[in-house]
Amino acid sequence: DQQVKQNSPSLSVQEGRISILNCDYTNSMFDYFLWYKKYPAEGPTFLISISSIKDKNEDGRFTVFLNKSAKHLSLHIVPSQPGDSAVYFCAARGGGGADGLTFGKGTHLIIQP
Amino acid sequence: DAGVIQSPRHEVTEMGQEVTLRCKPISGHNSLFWYRQTMMRGLELLIYFNNNVPIDDSGMPEDRFSAKMPNASFSTLKIQPSEPRDSAVYFCASSPGTFYTFGSGTRLTVV
């Protein structure tokens, strides 16, 4: 049973436009959410995070929104750039005391010129 | 800071053979995690250590899998005997707290 779900395996966006990546979770015990970015043949790298007590966190072109009542978070990238083409993983911490992060399956973002 | 170092980068082995994956975490990070990435299941947590002690190994798929952390600067993940369905990319990550730093992974192919 997947506790963190990314329902879109891939997303194609035109350069300069906004990219919106979505993530749903089922475990209300999660207290921290993170987004990781992964290029081919590399490990995932941390991008941005948000605590469960907040509903928005912004860092440059990247903004993460959290809707706790809907158990939904989203990552907005604006404007999208070619270097943003990568796989994006949503991750959550907590869920009963474990320190390990629970990851979604990822969304492959493709930025088209 | 060289980051999290994993070796080998690629491993091809025959079914039934023993496979050992290695990880050197970032100095000062007290938590170490082993993840497996497959197309079907995404990134799965296999086991994690805190201060060299295994805390949660509930993600280890079978007894064929074992992990050790003999000291703060080294960990191994061993599969014995290996099977084709173990083919995946295995990532090691270390953390001083919430934020992980991942290694580049080991791509394992069992034929």
For B42, nearest residue in chain A (alpha carbons): A105
Contact between A46 and B50 using a beta-carbon 8 Å cutoff? no
CA distance B96 to B82: 32
CB B91 within 8 A of CB B6: yes
- Composition of chain B by helix, strand, coil, percent to 5: 5, 55, 40
Exposed e or buried b per residue across A61-90, where buried means at least 16 C-beta atoms within 10 angstroms of its C-beta: ebbbbbeeeebebbbbbeebeeebbbbbbb
A13 Cα to chain B: minimum distance (Å): 23
Q: Number of A to B CB contacts under 8 A, please give it.
A: 55
Task: Report pLDDT for B40.
Answer: 85
Q: Which residue has the tokens 């089922």?
A: A26
Average pLDDT, chain A: 93
Tell me the mean pLDDT in the region B75-86. Answer: 97
Length of chain B: 111
pLDDT tens per residue across span B27-38? 999 999 999 999
pLDDT band, very low/low/confident/very high, at A100 (cuts 50, 70, 90): confident
pLDDT tens per residue across span B81-107? 999 999 999 999 999 887 889 999 999
CB A77 within 8 A of CB A88: no
pLDDT band, very low/low/confident/very high, at A96 (cuts 50, 70, 90): low
Half-sphere exposure at residue A105, Cβ-oriented, CA atoms within 13 angstroms: 12
| pLDDT exceeds 70 at position A95 | no
CA distance B25 to A37: 20
DSSP string, A95-109: SSS--SPEE---EEE
Exposed e or buried b per residue across B95-104, where buried means at least 16 C-beta atoms within 10 angstroms of its C-beta: beeeebbbbb
- Strand ranges inside B26-111, DSSP E: 31-38, 42-50, 53-56, 65-71, 74-79, 88-95, 101-102, 106-110
Contact between B41 and A93 using a beta-carbon 8 Å cutoff? no
* Strand (E) or helix (H) holding A34: strand A30-38
Q: Which of B9, B32, B41, B98 to mutate to test the interface with A (most CBs of A within 10 A)?
A: B98
